[in-house]
Amino acid sequence: MSETTVLPDAAQRVADLLAGIGHDRPVVMLPATGKTSAEAAAGLGCSVAEIAKSIIFRRVADDVPVLVIASGSNRVDEAKVAARVGALGKADAKFVREKTGYAIGGVCPIGHAVKPVMLLDQDLFRYDSLWAAAGHPHAVFNLTPQQLQVMTGAEVADVALGVTQGAAQ
């Protein structure tokens, strides 16, 4: 992994957002993709569980994006999420790009084009340090679960179906 001042546009936008809120850790570019939690963890030398993955759903009632930020080792239980926010539909690549401003595999927890309804996996609070996508499949940034909760304002919830090490969701 390398820290660089030349970032792809979306990652630079995230770096600027982070700087604007006083976050003191840089956006890091992975040499290989971090598109899945397992790939990101391998590139960072951390556990899959320490990856804060962003999963986007579409709320059926109003087409509002629903962002679930989950531990990389957890599969999201759609029934638990739907019970909190309403019926969910699939968010295809076009929906994700339009609503978040990011491509699948690089969806950052902040800086969305349309403010999503957000839930934060309670299991993330088991870790001192997390890594989240920074707008590009190779870009990540480090933060604590507490910082993630403050940055997003997301409700902390039980969203996990169960632990499936290396899940690619």
pLDDT of 94 reads 97
Rounded to a whole number of angstroms, the distance between the first and last alpha carbons of the chain is: 23
Those residues of the chain that have pLDDT short of 50 are 1-4, 163-169
* C-alpha–C-alpha distance, residues 72 and 118, integer Å: 17
pLDDT of 2 reads 46
Cα angle at 19 between 40 and 57, to 5 degrees? 50
pLDDT of 33 reads 80
CA dihedral (124, 129, 132, 138) positive or negative: negative
pLDDT of 35 reads 82
The separation between CA 32 and the C-alpha centre of its own chain, rounded to angstroms, equals 18
The DSSP H or E segment spanning 118 is strand 117-121
* C-alpha–C-alpha distance, residues 125 and 63, integer Å: 30
pLDDT of 24 reads 93
CATH architecture of 9-163: Alpha-Beta Complex (3.90)
Question: What are the pLDDT digits (tens) for 5-50?
Answer: 589 999 999 999 999 999 999 999 998 888 889 999 999 999 999 9
Question: 168 is written with which tokens?
Answer: 């690619």
Rounded to 5 degrees, what are φ and ψ at 115?
A: -60, 120
pLDDT of 145 reads 98
For residue 81, which of 52, 48, 134, 118 has the smallest C-alpha distance?
Answer: 118
CA dihedral (39, 44, 46, 50) positive or negative: negative
